[in-house]
Structures are given as C-alpha cells and as structure tokens.
Amino acid sequence: MHKLFTTDDIIRFAYNEMQPEEAAEFSADLYECPEMAEELDLINRTREVLDSSVEVPQAGVIQSILSYSAALQIREIPSRNMTLEVVFN
C-alpha cells in the first residue's frame, strides 16, 4: 500500500529533509504519479527563482550593524514614568 504524500512531503523531499527510507518510498511513488512529479518540478523551479533573487548585504554593512549592537546599552532609570536611557560606548 502506498503512503499518501502531501505538498509538505514534496517540499521536504525537494529540500532533502526526508529520512532515507521515506525518500526512497517517495521516489518510487514519484514515478507512478505524474501530478506529484509536476508539483515537485514546480517547487524546484520556484526554489531556483527564489535562490537567485536573494540579496546579500555587503560585509561592511553587517559589521556596522554588529558594532552598533555591541555598543548599545539600555539601562532603566528609576523614576515614576519609567524613562529609559540609551548609552553608547
């Protein structure tokens, strides 16, 4: 008896997130179900488009953000209206 595979299963297969036994069963069913093969093809093509459109910030920008984060301290000043003080090192 064949397992029913969902779209989530197809996505897990596309991203190699299945256990080897489950992936083998999926592969066998893939050859018998053209609709499932079409869905996998669509997911793979969509992933390629998304992967090619990812923008990576320049290293200097990342370093600036990390430096800013490391230099930022927020301390609470005791008062009735709970004011916060920002201190830069």
For residue 46, name the pLDDT band (cuts at 50, 70, 90).
Answer: very high
Q: How far is CA 19 from CA 4, 16, 24, 25, in A?
A: 16, 8, 9, 10
- Cβ–Cβ < 8 Å for 73, 85: no
Task: Domain ranges for the chain, please list them.
Answer: 7-52, 59-88
- Cβ–Cβ < 8 Å for 30, 37: yes
Q: Percent of the chain, pLDDT > 70?
A: 79
Q: What is the mean pLDDT of the chain?
A: 84
- To 10 degrees, the CA torsion angle through 64, 58, 51, 18? -50
> Can you give the pTM of this predicted structure?
0.58
pLDDT at 18 over 90: yes
